[in-house]
Amino acid sequence: MSFRAPLRAILFAALLLASACQRSTSSSSVADGATGRADVQFALDLDDADGDALAKGPDGASLSDADDATAGDGTGDASIEDAPSADLSDTNELDLETIVLGCTPPTPNDPNRQAAILLQGFEFQWLRTIAGFQTPHRISGIGVRFAELTQQLAATKWTLSGKANFLFSPGVDGDKANPRAYYAAVYGSALRTFRATVELAFSDDATDGDNPVAETRIDRYLYFEASCLGEPNGAPQDLALLLSGFSLRSSCDDAKQTNGELCNSNGFWPYGLHLGVSACAPFQSGFRCRLTLEIFRSWTPTNGGLKPFNDVLDYVVSIDVTALAGPTSGFRATPIALERQGTILEDVQTLSTTRVGATNLPIALLGMTGFGFQLIETGDLEKLGRYMTELTFGTTQNGYDPLLGELSFFYWMAFRAPVTVLQSDVVYEMTSTLLQFDATHKRSARDEVSGTICFSGFGFDCSNQGLPEQTEDSAPFVIETPLD
């Protein structure tokens, strides 16, 4: 495989290691020039298991200094101020900024902290066709996040309900979509969980010349106290950190453009996108994990069909994470890494594989921890950006042998465009965690939830489709699992 950015392979390998807190090379948070300007802000939403988001700070404000990253005082009310991040440095560690995840320590036997919803995949696809071809677009918003999670524990069943909040928006042309999320859930009296949301706000700044490029790389430690997961029972514990939702929004400000062009839209032509969290390792009085985000954009080989390139874009990215912990006698977590190479004009390829975890645990589930793609130079076309019709990543289980601890499953990864877009090779990556539980836990069946998106523009009117004009939608879901 040939990557334009050599850091990709290193970042991807780091997600595989439970102690993935060391690496031989480092990148700045957001570097100058082609990798964007050093203009990153942080905020943190805390989210109890009942889904009620707590305050971002005393005035609801996010951090205003790229070097400041701290949140939470252990009481559950996130206190975010312009103060230096906690001193979690170690002379043998990378010089990365740390985002401290505050939390409300759970009370003993709190059922709302003994369950978790697991993101297992997503699908975002534009559905409008012209002359039989799907209409491709730039990206100005994409994501799915679970919210308002509540659960009820009755004598015969366990119920988890909530909403899936979808975001999907194009550049300037109209289209419609039914974005979809795939998920499962798990409950156990010995399981301890907590959820948090990290928000990043930043701007990029493209290079000059005929082939402008903007590459943003953000690499952070996430730290949380062991008390966030409650008091262990004294037995050896295992821990997993999962990616449980995300949203990415881009916007263009005329006043920030340095190339003399006014903003054409809020969207961008991507050639790379990566988001992932690593397995956590014990550190000081808690745990430290890794968060990586990359957004690469450039012009298309046809200069966007004569649409101008926005020199500077602003981004707001929200990243939901869920931590699970439990005694190793009844809970084990095994990292999984998948990658493949393909082309953007091919259909979605569904592949199969197996992974082996611990033996003699009767329940197995997969939880997503990261995904990414990168287009690579094809046919001497140096401008790597492309329009997109579909972005989808996911897994679905096929069979499980509890005696061997072997799970077989299908998986897919795709960034797609129609034949009206110039071909490009693409490299994909996806990371997940094999979660295994003993018989005291209950798992739900895999399910899916979808939303409705419609955006009017250039010969396409949502009212003629009988659809509401919206680039965001909230879809309710209910999971019911028998306890017998």
Mean pLDDT value of segment 379-389 = 97
Beta strand ranges found along 264-313 (DSSP E): 270-277, 281-283, 286-298
Interatomic CA distance for residues 32 and 53, integer angstroms: 34
Interacting residues of 399 by C-beta distance below 8 A, sequence separation 6+: 407, 408
Q: Which domain holds residue 47?
A: 7-482
Mean pLDDT value of segment 293-303 = 97
Mean pLDDT value of segment 431-452 = 96
Is the pLDDT assigned to residue 3 strictly greater than 50? no
Helix (H) or strand (E) holding 143: strand 141-153
Task: Report the domain count for the chain.
Answer: 1
Q: Give a yes or no: residue 1 inside a domain.
A: no
Q: Give a yes or no: residue 295 inside a domain.
A: yes
Average of per-residue pLDDT values in the chain = 83
Is the pLDDT assigned to residue 61 strictly greater than 50? no
Per-residue pLDDT band for 108 (boundaries 50, 70, 90) equals confident
Per-residue pLDDT of 309-340, as tens digits, reads 999 999 999 999 999 999 999 999 999 999 99
Question: What confidence score (pLDDT) does residue 94 get?
Answer: 66
- How many H helices and E strands in the chain? 2, 26
More confident residue, 392 or 75: 392
For residues 62-76, b (16+ Cβ closer than 10 Å) or e, as one string? bbeebebbbbbeeee
Q: Give a yes or no: residue 335 inside a domain.
A: yes
Q: Give a yes or no: residue 91 inside a domain.
A: yes
Return the structure tokens found at 72: 């939470």
Return the structure tokens found at 170: 């194009």
Percent of the chain with pLDDT over 90: 70
Q: Which of 356, 213, 347, 218 is nearest to 292 (CA)?
A: 218
Question: What confidence score (pLDDT) does residue 145 get?
Answer: 98
Per-residue pLDDT of 31-55, as tens digits, reads 333 333 324 444 443 333 333 322 2
Q: Give a yes or no: residue 450 inside a domain.
A: yes
Lowest model confidence (mean pLDDT) among 56-65, 345-354, 444-453 = 56-65
Q: Give a yes or no: residue 72 inside a domain.
A: yes
CA angle, residues 284, 294, 291, in degrees to nearest 5: 15
What is the model's pTM?
Answer: 0.84
Q: Give a yes or no: residue 2 inside a domain.
A: no
Question: What confidence score (pLDDT) does residue 399 get?
Answer: 96
Question: What confidence score (pLDDT) does residue 93 get?
Answer: 56
Q: Across the strands, what pairs with 339?
A: 429
Return the structure tokens found at 234: 């004294």
Q: Give a yes or no: residue 282 inside a domain.
A: yes
